[in-house]
């Protein structure tokens, strides 16, 4: 019988979808911040409403330590459930008072979204929101677009020619 020798060829590995890798990394970060899922952050405008979301963003949920009953096993609360936590929001300074007045509404919306009574209080941290500032879009020079479009006689489709001309003018303008 012939003896099988181990192959020196590396095993074939397949690329994993980015969503799996990123999902695991982001999931750990959100879990450290007390979020059960990333959806509370990613869908904040839907949950809180556009007026509140425009001036706030969730930072974390602070969970209280469970109060154990004397005869309950380790980690169980007296009533068997998790105590509601405190939702910590980053809020722009001037909007803090208005958002503080909306605390009950925000708690209700978050709890409705999560499907259980997860938060009962809101704590505010006044700081600028961490949203990226968009750069103003420069206007594309119409004369440059026309010059480039004139130099594309081989492109038969007029819409495609104009799109390529606008792209060329935008690249040239940098």
What is the domain-level CATH number for residue 112?
3.30.300
**149 & 70 share domain:** no
Each as own residue / partner, the long-range contacts of residues 120-124 (CB below 8 Å, 24 or more positions apart, any chain) are 120/84, 120/85, 120/86, 121/84, 121/85, 121/86, 121/87, 122/86, 122/87, 122/88, 122/89, 123/62, 123/86, 123/87, 123/88, 123/89, 124/88, 124/89, 124/91, 124/96, 124/99, 124/100
Find where tokens 């509601």 sit.
84
- Residue 133: the pLDDT is 57
- Compute the distance between CA of residue 147 and CA of residue 169 in angstroms, rounded to an integer: 9
* Tens of pLDDT, residues 69-118: 555 444 444 455 678 889 999 998 888 999 999 999 999 999 999 888 88
Residue 167 falls within a domain, yes or no?
A: yes
Higher pLDDT, 19 or 121: 121
* Tens of pLDDT, residues 50-82: 999 999 999 888 887 765 555 544 444 445 567
| Strand pairing class (85-91; 119-126) | parallel
* Tens of pLDDT, residues 33-56: 556 667 888 889 999 999 999 999
**61 & 116 share domain:** yes
Residues contacting residue 78 through CB under 8 Å, at least 6 positions apart: 67, 68, 69, 72
- Residue 75: the pLDDT is 44
**48 & 115 share domain:** yes
**167 & 96 share domain:** no
**66 & 148 share domain:** no
Pair 66, 75: CB distance under 8 Å: yes
* Tens of pLDDT, residues 122-143: 999 998 887 665 556 677 888 8
- Compute the distance between CA of residue 51 and CA of residue 63 in angstroms, rounded to an integer: 27
What is the extent of the structural domain holding 166? 142-172
């Amino acid at each position: 019988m012939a003896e099988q020798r181990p192959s020196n060829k590396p095993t074939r590995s397949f690329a994993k979808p980015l969503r799996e890798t990123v999902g695991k990394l982001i999931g750990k970060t959100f879990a450290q911040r007390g979020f059960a899922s990333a959806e509370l952050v990613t869908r904040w405008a839907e949950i809180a409403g556009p007026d509140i979301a425009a001036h706030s963003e969730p930072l974390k949920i602070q969970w209280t330590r469970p109060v154990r009953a004397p005869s309950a096993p380790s980690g169980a609360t007296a009533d068997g459930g998790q105590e509601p936590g405190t939702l910590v929001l980053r809020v722009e300074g001037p909007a803090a008072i208005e958002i503080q007045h909306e605390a009950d509404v925000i708690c209700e919306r978050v709890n409705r979204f999560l499907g259980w009574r997860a938060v009962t209080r809101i704590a505010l941290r006044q700081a600028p929101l961490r949203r990226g500032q968009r750069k103003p879009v420069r206007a594309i020079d119409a004369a440059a677009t026309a010059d480039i479009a004139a130099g594309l006689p081989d492109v038969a489709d007029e819409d495609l020619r104009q799109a390529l001309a606008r792209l060329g003018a935008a690249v040239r303008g940098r």
